[in-house]
Amino acid sequence: MSIFADADTRLVVQGITGKEGQFHARQCVEYGTKVVAGVTPGKGGQKMDAIPVFNSVAEAVSEAGANCSLIFVPPPFAADAIMEAADAGVDLIVTITEGIPVLDMMRVKHYLKTSSARLIGPNCPGIITPGEAKVGIMPGPIHKPGGPIGVVSRSGTLTYEVVYQLTLQDIGQTTCIGIGGDPVNGTNFIDCLAAFEADPDTRGVVMVGEIGGSAEEQAAEFIRQNMSKPVVGFIAGMTAPPGRRMGHAGAIISGGAGTAQGKVEALKAGGAHVCEDLGRLGELCAKVF
């Protein structure tokens, strides 16, 4: 079992003929993901390797049976691409694109309330259910299939570090999700925690947060009230100065809010096992799980 993506995921890659889209579509295929279609408006009828390219997501759904979209469209066109995917009826939309204007994402977020589609990202590495489907840009081989741990994170390479430490401890993963580093995103920590709590094969969760906003604090409250499974938490940015944007658009301490210290305290109060030294995260997980 897993959450959001599995062996039945049928992927369409939006922006498949671009450099990034092409490279990562191939990586997904190599991992074993069913990549059934690509979309590049104006290039319908062509093929990328053996993958048929369509002009619209609607065609990818009706002709190729796509139920999940992976978006590599550049920022000026990304909001359009996300809403097109939602209208076409895919269940899951994973947006890798970094640098989408905040106002665009605000509108998309409200628009998606009228749709049943789930958005992961933007500005994220995507989602992987090891051994079943990789919908994203993460390196496949560091993951260990079979569970029993779920991973959810706001970051990219930091997630890889965490997953790798789990794998070295011989702890497999059910599903690993990067929810993205932007201030406005689709799926949040709580969505993932709730799904992991409901997934019978997931026995515990590693949650990786960072400075900025209050998503971790809200997640901590959710953990306190709703999680029966153990959660190991890590927060990046204990040494981050206030008022500076730390790479991710959402990673900023403003007006004294959003500090790592505050998030660590909240997670502890929520009953999570907080790891304060990333170098020892794997050891802690081996103890807790």
Residue list 83-112, contact with other proteins (CB under 8 A): 99-107, 109-111
Site string for other proteins, 236-255 (x = CB under 8 A): xxxxxx--x-xxxxxx---x
Strands (DSSP E) found in the chain: 10-14, 34-39, 47-48, 51-54, 68-71, 92-95, 118-120, 126-129, 133-136, 148-153, 172-178, 204-210, 231-236, 273-274
Q: Is residue 171 close enough to count as binding other proteins by CB under 8 A?
A: no
> Helices 189-198 and 215-226: crossing angle, nearest 10°?
20
Contact between residue 181 and residue 172 where contact means Cβ atoms under 8 Å apart? no
CB of 226 to other proteins, least distance (A): 20
Q: Are 186 and 109 in contact (CB under 8 A)?
A: yes
The Cα angle at residue 272 between residues 271 and 275, in degrees rounded to 5: 140
- Per-position x/- string for 34-63, each x denoting binding to other proteins as judged by CB under 8 A, each - no binding: ------------------------------
Q: Is 24 a catalytic residue?
A: no
132 versus 210: smaller Cβ distance to other proteins: 210
Residue in 4, 31, 72, 160 binding other proteins, rule: CB under 8 A: 160
Per CB under 8 A, residues contacting other proteins are 23, 75-76, 99-107, 109-111, 137-139, 141-142, 153-161, 164, 181, 183-184, 208, 210-211, 213-214, 234, 236-241, 244, 246-251, 255-256, 260, 276-280
